[in-house]
Structure 1
Amino acid sequence: MSTEQQAARDENPKPPMQVQNAGRRRIARAGIGAAGILLTLESRVAMATGPQCVAPSAAALSHGDNSNYVERGRCEAIGPERWVELTDQWPCSKDVKFGALFKCRGAEAEFADIEVLKILSEVAYVEFIGRALATTYLNILSGKLTVLDDTTLLKMWDDLQTYQAYSPTSNVTWTAYDVRLYLESTYRA
């Protein structure tokens, strides 16, 4: 390199490395052992977005809003108020009773003879898990929700009646309240 070329190069120094990525670059240079750390750093952006319609096991493992198991484009679920407006689009009769879809026993037996439409539309049932179950069931049967199937939904209900809890994965137990919140998140995402 000539003296003139060196002088010209010194006059136009390279811009310094961006500070925000310097740490990541050092970790990346550390080798393959640091790959997990790098991926963890990169996943913070994904974690900030929260879950949008995830399977029960993913919701249980992710602790709610920290989910990286987003099923994009597979959730077009609608809420109970919308199902009340769209009874002509139900995948079953609008006169169906709750007990015809979900076997009721014990304390829940009183809900067996109530029409699903009534459970979806009346304020008295807002906190009743049956409202979330019925809404989710309609979403599954209509193809609007694909991260959960009707077999799993019915198991949730059966386990809640039998054991007062549902376990989406080993060492994780959901109460009826937890199940309701999960089901509601599938159509309020």
Structure 2
Amino acid sequence: MATEQQHDAPVPVTAELSSEGAARRRFARAGVAASGVLLTLHSQPGMAAEVCTTPSGFLSGGLQSFRGPPPTCAGRSPGYWKNAGWPRGCDKNAPYTRVFSCNSQNAKSYGGSTQIAILDPKKWDRDGIGRHLMAAYLNVQAGLSTFQTVPMLQRIWLEYQAKGYYTPTAGVKWDGAKIVEYLQGTMY
């Protein structure tokens, strides 16, 4: 006569988890459900971040859905445009104000510069916003940045000029350094 032995599963040892441990466990349980989202996040080392989205999309981690073809995100830096041929219809010697109008406070500095000259660092171009906006404009004109528009770039400049910051979404204020950080993220 054979006797059946019952094998009980080991009794789990429960220990109090720290809040970090509990958060990790919840994250691990999400597992497969979250893997699709995690795989869409893209990280690059150092300052080589790529931001292929509008300013408000930048705040949501770039997790926007696009209808139609994916956006083109191959923007070039101010230094590139300083030395490269410009897109058709763009005039290096035209005033900066042809694209980005200036208030009376900026009329002598930005307003007195040509589009090519603004690409050089200037002491009065705090944070380099003028040169990065000009590069972003050229990227749009060249088709290297299809998720940005000229009116969007102009709104950033006009609000920054008027208020000293840009509001990409309600309750968020970007100073010049943050605007430049966003613009640099659209360039390589």
TM-score (norm 1): 0.68
2:63 to 68, 73, 82: 68
Describe the shift of the 1:106–1:61 C-alpha distance in structure 2 as closer, same or farther (beyond 3 A).
farther
Task: Give the Cα–Cα distance (whole angstroms) in 1 for the partners of residues 113 and 176 of structure 2.
Answer: 19
Q: Which moved more, 1:98-107 or 1:40-49?
A: 40-49
Describe the shift of the 1:162–1:127 C-alpha distance in structure 2 as closer, same or farther (beyond 3 A).
closer
**1:103 pairs with 2:101:** yes
CA contact (8 A) 1:90 1:138 kept: no
Q: Counterpart in 2 of 1:44? A: 38
CA contact (8 A) 1:91 1:138 kept: no
Q: Counterpart in 2 of 1:86? A: 84
Task: Say which structure, 1 or 2, has more relative contact order (CA 8 Å, 6+ apart).
Answer: 2
Name the count of aligned residue pairs.
Answer: 153
| C-alpha deviation, 1:128, in angstroms | 2.1
Query: What secondary structure, in the 3-state scheme, does the structure 1 residue paired with 2:101 have?
Result: coil
Given residue 152 of structure 2, which amino acid in structure 1 is its aligned partner? T
- Encode CA deviations 1:131-154: one digit per residue, 9 max, x unaligned: 001000111112111111111110
Task: Give the Cα–Cα distance (whole angstroms) in 1 for the partners of residues 126 and 33 of structure 2.
Answer: 41
Task: Give the Cα–Cα distance (whole angstroms) in 1 for the partners of residues 88 and 132 of structure 2.
Answer: 16
Describe the shift of the 1:81–1:90 C-alpha distance in structure 2 as closer, same or farther (beyond 3 A).
farther
Query: What secondary structure, in the 3-state scheme, does the structure 2 residue paired with 1:119 have?
Result: helix
Task: Give the Cα–Cα distance (whole angstroms) in 2 for the partners of residues 123 and 103 of structure 1.
Answer: 18
Task: Give the Cα–Cα distance (whole angstroms) in 1 for the partners of residues 168 and 127 of structure 2.
Answer: 21
Q: Counterpart in 2 of 1:53? A: 52
CA contact (8 A) 1:80 1:131 kept: yes
CA contact (8 A) 1:52 1:70 kept: no
| C-alpha deviation, 1:40, in angstroms | 3.3
Task: Give the Cα–Cα distance (whole angstroms) in 2 for the partners of residues 70 and 152 of structure 1.
Answer: 19
Given residue 63 of structure 2, which amino acid in structure 1 is its aligned partner? N
| C-alpha deviation, 1:41, in angstroms | 4.7
| C-alpha deviation, 1:48, in angstroms | 4.9
Structure 2, unpaired ranges of 5+ = 1-24, 45-49
Query: What secondary structure, in the 3-state scheme, does the structure 1 residue paired with 2:91 have?
Result: coil
| C-alpha deviation, 1:38, in angstroms | 4.7
- Encode CA deviations 1:60-111: one digit per residue, 9 max, x unaligned: 222xxxx334875511211112212223545411111112211111432221
Task: Give the Cα–Cα distance (whole angstroms) in 1 for the partners of residues 84 and 164 of structure 2.
Answer: 33
| C-alpha deviation, 1:161, in angstroms | 1.2
CA contact (8 A) 1:57 1:168 kept: yes
Describe the shift of the 1:169–1:177 C-alpha distance in structure 2 as closer, same or farther (beyond 3 A).
same
Describe the shift of the 1:103–1:93 C-alpha distance in structure 2 as closer, same or farther (beyond 3 A).
same
Given residue 143 of structure 1, which amino acid in structure 2 is its aligned partner? G
RMSD of Structure 2 on Structure 1 (CA): 3.0
More helix per residue: 1
Structure 1, unpaired ranges of 5+ = 1-22, 28-33
TM-score (norm 2): 0.68
Task: Give the Cα–Cα distance (whole angstroms) in 1 for the partners of residues 159 and 33 of structure 2.
Answer: 37
